[in-house]
Amino acid sequence: MNVTATAGAGEAREARMDFTGKTVLLTGGAGGLGIDTALGFAGAGAKVIVLDIRDDRGSDLLSRAAALGNGSVVYEHLDLSDQAELKRGLDRIVAEHGAVDILINNAAIYPAKPFEDFTLEEHRAVQAVNVDAHVQCAMSLLPGMRQRGWGRIINVASITFYGGWDKLFPYVSSKGALVGLTRAWAREFGQYGVTVNAVAPGAFPTDAEKIHPDPDGYTRFVLDHQALKRRGSPQDIASTMMFLASDHASFITGQTINVDGGWVMK
């Protein structure tokens, strides 16, 4: 599935950043924290290519983008758990749209249960989506960035990497891997003019919270731990992504920025 919608001004203009002429590839961009990021970049003039498997949410994203009016959003149905399919899809995307300037590795799955109830296969399935797929994205898209002498890679980690969090060991370990990849890639890719950073979101009211049986109690728990006594919004993440992708952050690389209202301070 390959669908395009026009996007533009709107809320993203508030960021006052111009990505006209830039192409962004955003994995897992059709839901959760991804939609506002996609619309933010499109609203600032970018072409945003969203990879996801949730076609209903992809259609909603395109509808919202069409109501704006400057950049564009392209939705691609690609299963990140299938590495061969992903590579073929990425090769096709580059052939159709040209080199990607900004890669945002956002997609993740997060099964939750006690450690002893997981199988090794389930652990590997999480790593395939949360880590291996993003390694493949970097492998496929780095050559274009290197040729242009400019690029941005942003990995979406998690504050769970710092705090542990029980019943999420495959997810937590995958987010730790992304922090490690951020540092390794930043060291190696800097010579090509490519910066690599990570954003570690805190607790945001998205579908991920549906694993909690007591939503109100969980909100109280979150606010008790945050320095800022409000829930975060997807726009908080979008603004951070846009900053890291902009020339304002051209001398920042290898860093992990927590966007968590002051829950974890590292």
Is residue 253 within 8 A of residue 186, CB to CB? The reply is yes
pLDDT for 49 equals 98
> Residues for the chain: how many in total?
266
What average pLDDT does the structure give for the chain?
Answer: 90
149-195: pLDDT as tens digits: 999 999 999 999 987 678 899 999 999 999 999 999 999 999 999 99
- E strand or H helix that includes residue 83: helix 83-97
From residue 83, how far is each of 98, 133, 211 by CA, in Å? 21, 6, 27
Using CB atoms within 10 A of its CB, is residue 191 exposed (0-12), middle (13-18) or buried (19+)? Answer: exposed
**Half-sphere exposure in the Cβ direction for 200 (13 Å, CA):** 26
Distance CA 11, CA 40 (A): 7
Model confidence over 93-132: pLDDT tens digits?
A: 999 999 999 999 999 999 999 999 999 999 999 999 999 9
d(CA 195, CA 185): 8
Residue with tokens 């109690």: 217
> Cβ-count burial of 140 within 10 angstroms (0-12 exposed, 13-18 middle, 19+ buried)?
buried
Q: What is the pLDDT of residue 7?
A: 52
| CA 187 – CA 181 distance, rounded (Å) | 10
pLDDT, tens digit, 9 for 90 and up, residues 219-256: 898 888 888 898 989 999 999 999 999 999 999 999 99
- The residues carrying an active-site annotation are 171
Alpha helices, H only, 99-198: 120-127, 133-148, 160-163, 169-189
Secondary structure of 243-262 in HEC code, one letter for each residue: HHHCHHHCCCCCCEEEECCC
Q: pLDDT tens digit string along 57-68?
A: 999 999 999 887
141's tokens = 């898209």
pLDDT at position 203: 84
